[in-house]
Chains A and B, each alone.
Chain A
Amino acid sequence: MPVSQANSRVVYDALKKCGIGLVSALPETWLVHLIRMAEDDPEMILVRLAKEEEGVGISAGAHFAGVKSAMLMQNHGFLASINGIVSFAQLYRIPLLMLISYRGHFGERDPWQTQGGSVTEPLLRALGIQYSFLDDPAKVEKQIAEAQTLAAASLHPVALLLTRQLMWEEPA
């Protein structure tokens, strides 16, 4: 599978380094290595979801409990989570660190992913969620740490978009 194991490791290690103790996830192709890393890590609480919106509640519970968390999902999972993001995380000032695989952007071959790609950034902007792109492994650790810092300080969701450049190794 041409999903980058090395860059998944960079992302996972960065999450660990900024103290993430719980990860909620719904599998998608680009996330498989990250989810396996969480599964193999005895220090990490991994919650596999039926639908991504559950992750908002789980992250809220973790926040109340004093545990830093991250949500791993596809951009379609972000779309599926929007009510939870608005009517829980934003209404109640709950920090969320969302790592969203940015499917349906340049280079996407799966026709079924393409519509979600075109609305991901407009929706993040409409929701007032600050976001950045993870595309260079050399910068990932700093970017994840800074996103986590902003989420905690603002008590608001923040998003990091996992890009094809970072996650996919096959030449286009």
Chain B
Amino acid sequence: MMQRLECLRAVYPQLEDCLVVTIMGAVAAELQSLGHRPNFFYLQHAMGLASSTGLGLALCLPQQKVVVFDGDGSVLMNLGGLTTLARYRPKNLVHVVFDNESLLSVGGFPTATSTGSNIEAVARAAGVPHAKTVTAVPDFAAAFGEAVKANDLTCIVAKVEALGPKAYVTDLALLENRFQFKRYVEKLKS
């Protein structure tokens, strides 16, 4: 089974020109372990709102590619947000959902995707025009590359192992990240 860190590593070079929003926990820590960049914003709480943040960015900056790294636990807290994403269908948004079927950072309690709930199917039914599930790193990298080039909203569900980093707290303060990210976006606009 594939690991989230390997997925992130495989697409890391493609993130250079994107605005990236991640959820809290393993996704944030692992992306930082590959090398923080000023165009990465880690939403270290408010589960469910990373995709809404990506939507706000994508609607306000239609020429800018936006990538959201989400997770099954977070998406399940804001399933309605998938219908809002689909309703506005920002062409510049790639929504990646790492699905490890668990709430890993609190001890690995299984989520509803472990008992058959299917996020790709939910996304499709919500109206997301392109949704795909991948289970191998090369397939993930290919799907991500296509989604970044595509001129349409895409949701990629990556089934990954319930494995995380040793530690979740990093040296990057939340507010430092937030102000740096905002400055980065301001520079893009000027």
Using CB atoms and an 8 Å cutoff, list the residues of chain A in contact with chain B.
21-22, 45, 47-51, 53-67, 69, 83-84, 87-88, 91-94
Contact A47–B186 (Cβ < 8 Å): no
Using CB atoms and an 8 Å cutoff, list the residues of chain B in contact with chain A.
19, 21, 41, 43-46, 48-61, 78, 80-81, 83-84, 87-88, 174-175, 178, 181-182, 185-186, 189
**Contact A83 to B46, CB < 8 A, known contacts A60-B56, A65-B60, A65-B185:** yes
Cα–Cα, bound, A64→B57 (Å):
7
Residue in B closest to A83 when the chains form the complex, CB atoms: B46
Q: Tell me, rounded to whole Å, the shortest Cβ–Cβ distance linking B91 to chain A.
A: 15
Cα–Cα, bound, A1→B146 (Å):
49
Cα–Cα, bound, A94→B57 (Å):
14
* Residues of B with C-beta under 8 A to A91: 44-46, 174
**Contact A50 to B52, CB < 8 A, known contacts A66-B186, A88-B46, A92-B175:** no
How many pairs of A and B residues are in contact by the CB < 8 Å rule?
A: 110
For the complex with contacts A63-B182, A92-B178, 10 further pairs of A-B residues with Cβ separation under 8 Å are: A22-B59, A47-B56, A54-B80, A59-B56, A61-B59, A61-B60, A64-B19, A84-B49, A87-B46, A93-B175
Rank and list the top 8 A-B pairs by shortest CB-CB distance, nearest first. A61-B56, A57-B52, A50-B80, A57-B49, A65-B60, A88-B46, A87-B45, A58-B56
Contact A48–B45 (Cβ < 8 Å): no
Contact B50–A57 (Cβ < 8 Å): yes
* Residues of A with C-beta under 8 A to B58: 61
Contact of B56 among A51, A53, A57, A83 (CB under 8 A): A57
Give the most central of A45, A61, A63: most B CB within 10 Å.
A61
**Contact A53 to B49, CB < 8 A, known contacts A45-B60, A66-B189:** yes
Instruction: Please name 7 pairs of A and B residues whose Cβ atoms are closer than 8 Å in the assembled complex, sorted by A.
Output: A48-B84, A51-B80, A61-B57, A62-B57, A64-B41, A64-B56, A92-B178
